[in-house]
Structure 1
Amino acid sequence: MQPSLRSAQGFLAGSLIGTLGGLIGLGGAEFRLPVLVGLFRLETLEAVIFNKAMSLVVVAAALLFRSGGIPLEQLTAHLGIALNLLAGSLVGAWWAAGHALRLSRQWLDRIVMVMLVGLALVMLAEAAVGLHDGSAPLFASAPLQLLAGLLAGLGIGVVAALLGVAGGELLIPTIVLLYGVDIKLAGSLSLMVSLPTMIVGFARYSSSGAFAILGRERPLFGWMAAGSILGAAVGGLLLGLVPTRLLMLLLGVILLVSALKTFLHRH
C-alpha cells in the first residue's frame, strides 16, 4: 500500500471512529483495534501498543475538551472515586501488559477477541437497560464500596492494557452504578482514571521489540491521531442528535461483527 494512501486511510478511519466515540463519550479505541489488525495488517501486539499510544493522545485531548464542562472543584470533590479505582487499575494494567509480552500471538489473538466480544456485549446490555444519571451508591458500607472499587479497577486495568483502550466503556457505567454519580461527571472521572492507567501499561510495553511500531508507522500514527481528535470534537458537537440507546446498540453490533471477523480470519 502506498504511504500516501495508507495515511489517507488512517485519517479517514480515525475521523470516523473518533466521531462515533465522541457521540457516546468514548475514545473509540475498541473500534480502532480491529481496523489496525484487519485493514493495516499490524501484528496483534503491535496493534495494541499503537492503539495504546493513540488512546493516550485522544484521552489527553478529551480531558482538555471537557475541562470547561465540569468545574475543577467538582472533580476535586470526587477525587476519592478516581483514587479508589486507580489503586486497582494501575496494578491490573502493569500485570496484564507484562503477561501480554510473554503470550504467543495465537493466545493473544484469542484473548483480545474474547475481550472485544465482551465489550460489545456490555454495549448491547447498556443499550437494552440504559444507564441512570446517578442516585444512591450501590453499597452503603464504605469498606465494601472500597473493595468493590479496587476489584473493578483491577479488571478494567487488565482490559485497558491488553486492548490498548482507555476503558471508558467499562469505567463510566462502573462509576455511575457503584458510586451513584451522574453520567456527565462519570465521563470526566473516567478520563482521570484512564490516563494514568494507560501510561503505566504503555511504560510496561516499552521493553517490547514491538514498541518499534511507533517509529515505523509514524505517518500513519500522526494522521490517525489528527483524524481521531477531529472526529471526537465533531462527535461531541453532534451529541444528542442520535438517541444514545440506538447508537449503543448499533456500535455494539459493529464491534461484535468486526472483532469476530478480524480475529477469526487470522486463524
Structure 2
Amino acid sequence: MVDDIADLRAARWAGSLPLAFGAGAAVGVLGGMIGLGGAEFRLPLLIGVFGFAALAAVILNKAMSLVVVLSALPARLTAVPLDELAGHWVIAINLLAGSLLGAWAGAAWAVRMRTATLYRILAVLMVGMAAALVLTHTTTASTLALPDAVRAVTGVAAGFGIGVVAAIMGVAGGELLIPTITLLYAVDVKIAGSLSLLVSLPTMLVAFARYSRDSSFQVLRSNWRFAATMALGSIAGALLGGLLLGVVPNLVLVPLLAVVLLISAYKLARH
C-alpha cells in the first residue's frame, strides 16, 4: 500500500517534464565534472524529490543509466578505438564472469526485499559510494601484485560485488569498475574508463532483464516520457559537465559531492 501511494504521488511529479529535464541535467553536470555518469546522484532525486518508491526509483534509474551509457559509448570508442582495447579483452571477460551473475542476483534480491529494507540497503550503499568517491579521487593506490590465478579469482569476485551494487542502485557501476580495473590490472585510467563501459553495458542489460520479469517494471511503462526526458537531461548535463572538467578543483568538488551522498543516505535511512 505504501508503494502504491508513492507511485501515485510520483505520477503527478512525473508530468513535470521541464523539472525532470532540469534534474537530469544537474545530475549530468555533477557526474560529468568528475568523469562519471552521475546515476548515484539521480537515485535520491527520484525518491526524495519526485516521490517514487524505492524499487520503482531503482528501475527508472537503471533504465536511464542504460540510455546514458549507450550514448557515451560512441564517444569513448572514438577516444579509445576498439583495436586499442583488443589487447585488454581478457580483463573485460574476467570481470563480466562475475558481474553478470551479480547483476542477476542483485536485481532478484531487490524485487524480493521489503521496501523498508531496500531503503536501508540503499542508504548503506550511498555511504559506500561516498567513501569510494573520496578514495578514488583523492588518493593514488598502487597496483596489486597478484599471481595470475589469484587475480582472475579476485576479478570474478569483484565483478560479482559490483554487479550486485549496480543492480540494486540502478547505476552503471563505473565509479567502482574504473578503480577496480586500474588496481587489479595496471591499465591506464583512460583505457579503464572504456573497459568499464564494455563491462557495465551487458551487466546492466542482465539486471534490466531480471527487473522486467517483475510487476514493478510497470513503473517504466507508465512513466516512459518522464524517464526519457530525465535521461536526455542527464546526457546534456554530462556533456556540459565534461566541458567544465577541472574548472572546480577535485579537492573542493569531491568532498562536496560526498557530503551530498551522505545527506541522501541519511534521508533514505529515515524513509
TM range (shorter): over 0.9
Report the Cα offset of residue 5 of structure 1: 6.4
Alpha-carbon deviations, 1:109-161, whole Å to 9, x = none?
Answer: 111111111111111223442x46xx7x4134111110110111010000001
Q: Residues 13 and 50 of structure 2 are in contact (CA less than 8 Å); yes or no, is this contact kept in structure 1?
A: no
Shift of 1:50: 0.3
**CA apart distance, 1:236:** 1.6
Instruction: Verify the 8 A CA contact 2:14 2:50 in the aligned structure 1.
Output: no
Given residue 30 of structure 2, which amino acid in structure 1 is its aligned partner? L
Instruction: Indicate whether 1:28 and 2:38 are aligned.
Output: yes
**Quick check: 1:177 aligned with 2:183?**
yes
Is the CA contact 1:138–1:178 (under 8 Å) kept in the aligned structure 2?
yes
Letter in 1 for 2:233: G
* Matches for 1:1-267 after TM superposition, within 5 Å: 6-129=16-139, 131=140, 137-261=143-267, 263-266=268-271
Segments of structure 2 that go 5 or more residues without pairing to the other structure are 1-10
3-state SS of 2:112 partner: coil
Q: Matches of 1:68 and 1:236 in 2, distance apart? A: 15
Once residues 91 and 251 of structure 2 are traced to their aligned partners in structure 1, the CA distance between those partners, rounded to angstroms, is: 26
The one-letter amino acid of 1:22's match is: G
Cα deviations across residues 90-121 of structure 1 (Å, max 9, x unaligned)?
01111111111111101111111111111111
Whether contact under 8 Å (2:39, 2:61) holds in the other structure is yes
Query: Once the 2 structures are TM-superposed, how far is the Cα of residue 4 of structure 1 from its aligned partner?
Result: 8.2
Contact 1:124 1:253 (C-alpha < 8 Å) held by counterparts? no
Q: Distance in 2 between matches of 1:128 and 1:77?
A: 29
Same amino acid, percent of matched pairs: 52
Contact preservation (8 Å) 2:14, 2:226: no
Q: Name the stretch that deviates more: 239-248 or 79-88.
A: 239-248
Task: Report the aligned-residue RMSD.
Answer: 1.7
Gaps of 5+ in 1: none
How many positions carry a matched residue from both structures? Answer: 261
Q: TM-score, normalised by structure 2?
A: 0.91
Partner secondary structure for residue 68 of structure 1: helix
Distance 1:110 1:141 in 2: 37
SS class of match (1:24): coil
Structure 2 Cα separation of the partners of residues 199 and 48 of structure 1: 14
Note if contact 1:126-1:248 (Cα within 8 Å) is conserved in structure 2. Answer: no
Letter in 2 for 1:264: A
SS for the counterpart of 2:78 is coil
Partners of 1:93 and 1:222 lie apart in 2 by 23
Alpha-carbon distance, 1:3 to partner: 6.2
Q: Is the 8 A contact 2:62 2:204 kept in 1?
A: yes
1-structure distance, mates of 2:236, 2:12: 24
Moved more, 154-163 or 241-250: 241-250
